[in-house]
Chain A
Amino acid sequence: MTLPDWRWQVLGALGLTALALPVHGVEALFGAAQGVLPGPGQIAYWCLVIAGWLAAWALVEGLAAWRPLRGWQRRLAALAAPLLFGITLIALWEAVVIGASISPVLLPAPSAIAARIAVSPEVLWGDFLQTFVKGALIGYALGCGAAILTAFAIDRSDFLKRGLLPVGNFVAALPIIGIAPIMVMWFGFDWPSKAAVVVVMVFFPVLVNTVQGLAAADRLQAELLRTYAATPTQTLLKLRLPAAAPFIFNGLKIASTLALIGAIVAEFFGTPTLGMGFRITTEVGRMNLDMVWATIAVAALAGSAFYGAVVLAERRAAFWHPSIRG
């Protein structure tokens, strides 16, 4: 008799639940809900946790095996599987923190972090404005703009291209974050120094990608434009820039994650009393780990949203590319 893969997990989950319920199972659940775990309920509690995990696993396996015909069903499955996985992770985190009674100084439970976010939105919003909007976004716009303009300038000279590309590739692999202390020294403690770090960090990846992209236009297409007697500006705007879009967006995507990192790490070297990096360092010192995790959650959300926004912009701008058309 062969069972589909995921049935084993269902059997395991049911078995463990059946084992747990008679042995203080209900007691354990009610205790955990109130945040205290009775001694004899321990084993039952862990059985239930593992059972829950197995059940979630089985569900994901089932989703993976599901081959729906309709488009929206497929999209739903593609969305539900990672969502389930994430919820399971957070639930396990919560369960382990309560079950093993881990001190909130080491690792706060997700519920405590959520509570902290609900209590102090003003502080988090202020940090977000200071670090993300002022530091990261302004630096990102300046750095990417400068890089793309530089790429256009370089593109005119073959000599410069051959000279700058290896240097740019080299610099893009360097630990540029190390210039943070220098920038803080030059531009002071407030956001301009953070923006400056971000500018330097995002410049080289975008430059290298844009230069490569500008060379990507098809030879035949370039010759067609020549027969139309197109000016270099027209060729750039109508052929080479659109052809370069996937490359440019690749650079912009890399830069979007670098920008937030640069802005936060630069704050370790000196800040006004505001900002995500400042909040993380000071609250770690005061052992307020729930506040630290709340800041991290905001940073993660902001970073993901930023990346997502760039991806959306790419879909609008480079809709013709095979990787997007699918």
Chain B
Amino acid sequence: MVRGVAKATLPVLAVVAAILALWYVAVVPLNLPWERDQAARAGAQPALTTMIANTMGQSRPVLPAPHQVAVELWETTAEKRVTSKRSLVYHGWITLSATMLGFLFGTVLGILLAVGIVHNRAMELSVMPWVIASQTIPILAIAPMIIVVLNAVGLSGLIPKALISTYLSFFPVVVGMVKGLRSPDRLQLDLMATYGASPAQVFWKLRWPASVPYLFASLKVAIAISLVGAIVGELPTGAVEGLGARLLAGSYYGQTIQIWSALFAAAFLAAGLVALIALAGRLVNTAMGARP
């Protein structure tokens, strides 16, 4: 057991350590020109080693060192009040609420569409190709317009961002659920027919339970892109609050450390959400009698 865990985690840790090491190495050449420039302006001739040491602590580096990002993350999450505008927890919460709302809409819409597609051949023929085509349209590119237009109609704040998340997240749910609802095989369907089961009974007692593993697999994808949708949805509205706003504000004012910390906050948020769905999926599957 212990050896199994070590075998699984050791390579991952090694890769992560290698990435960190590469990052530190990359910091020096990227930030050194600025140090040289500063030294030349001051007319000083600092030793190369001091300049290299300085590249790790610039206030607006081209590439911040990992520890700078870590310190910024710590300061903006643990040391600020949660309600403060400079707290990443506050901005993360704004983004998270839009993500969750969009995810909820997207899941419901996706399941409804999938049920329709599985039960109605006309819908399968006409809607399914458009569901696929809808995802080749770069919705994220349309996001600013959707937000501006919805603002003009009077919808502002959470809903427009959530709608973009919805558009992105319904797709994996439709595809996964169509597959899942169709997963019962001929024999099982025939058995239900011999029981004289009504279409509703076939759905609730056979198709729906059979589709649950597929549902959770698609939900993991859906929540990750739902977060992307919420972040991009925050870009055009003038960037007031949310992780996307932190990214935009950081890029306006050249605050690279702020950009990187917002990026990592988003990454941790995504990882946490996916892990949460995975856990829920495992619990539900076990409760429904799945054996590992």
Residues of A within 8 A of B (CB): 6, 57, 60-61, 63-65, 77-78, 81-82, 84-86, 105-107, 159-164, 166-167, 170, 173-175, 177-182, 184-186, 256-257, 260-261, 264-265, 268-270, 276-277, 280-281, 284, 289, 292, 296, 299-300, 303-304, 306-307
Contact assessment for B140 and A64 in the assembled complex, using a CB-CB cutoff below 8 Å? no
Main secondary structure of the interface of B (DSSP, over half): helix
Q: How far is the CA of A178 from the CA of B262 in the complex (A)?
A: 9
Contact assessment for B122 and A280 in the assembled complex, using a CB-CB cutoff below 8 Å? no
CB of B191 within 8 Å of the partner chain: no
Pairs of residues from A and B, 9 with the lowest C-beta to C-beta distance, nearest first: A163-B11, A181-B251, A85-B126, A81-B125, A163-B15, A264-B141, A82-B129, A64-B122, A303-B136
Residues of B within 8 A of A (CB): 7-8, 10-16, 19, 62, 120-122, 124-130, 133, 135-142, 144-145, 148-149, 152-153, 220-221, 224, 227-228, 231-232, 235-236, 243-244, 247-248, 250-251, 254, 256, 259-260, 262-263, 266-267, 270-271, 274
Contact assessment for A63 and B137 in the assembled complex, using a CB-CB cutoff below 8 Å? no
Q: How far is the CA of A54 from the CA of B136 in the complex (A)?
A: 28
Contact assessment for A265 and B232 in the assembled complex, using a CB-CB cutoff below 8 Å? yes
Pick the contact of B137: A81, A162, A277, A303 (CB < 8 A): A303
Contact assessment for A178 and B254 in the assembled complex, using a CB-CB cutoff below 8 Å? no
Contact assessment for B266 and A178 in the assembled complex, using a CB-CB cutoff below 8 Å? yes
* Chain B residues closer than 8 Å to A184, beta-carbon distance: 251
Contact assessment for A268 and B236 in the assembled complex, using a CB-CB cutoff below 8 Å? yes
Q: How far is the CA of A166 from the CA of B62 in the complex (A)?
A: 29
Give min CB distance, A92 to chain B, whole Å.
Answer: 14
Give min CB distance, A3 to chain B, whole Å.
Answer: 15
Q: How far is the CA of A270 from the CA of B130 in the complex (A)?
A: 32
Q: How far is the CA of A64 from the CA of B153 in the complex (A)?
A: 38
Contact assessment for B12 and A81 in the assembled complex, using a CB-CB cutoff below 8 Å? no
Give min CB distance, B199 to chain A, whole Å.
Answer: 14
Pick the contact of A175: B228, B254, B259 (CB < 8 A): B228
5 pairs from A and B in contact (CB 8 Å cutoff): A64-B124, A178-B247, A257-B136, A284-B144, A300-B137
Contact assessment for A173 and B270 in the assembled complex, using a CB-CB cutoff below 8 Å? yes
* Chain A residues closer than 8 Å to B149, beta-carbon distance: 106-107, 289
Given A82-B130, A174-B266, A281-B144, also A181-B15 (CB < 8 A): no
Contact assessment for A63 and B270 in the assembled complex, using a CB-CB cutoff below 8 Å? no
Pick the contact of B232: A77, A163, A177 (CB < 8 A): A177
Given A65-B122, A177-B228, 20 other A-B residues pairs in contact with their CB atoms under 8 A: A61-B122, A82-B128, A85-B130, A86-B130, A161-B11, A163-B10, A167-B16, A173-B220, A174-B266, A174-B270, A178-B244, A178-B259, A181-B250, A257-B135, A264-B140, A268-B144, A269-B248, A280-B141, A299-B141, A300-B137
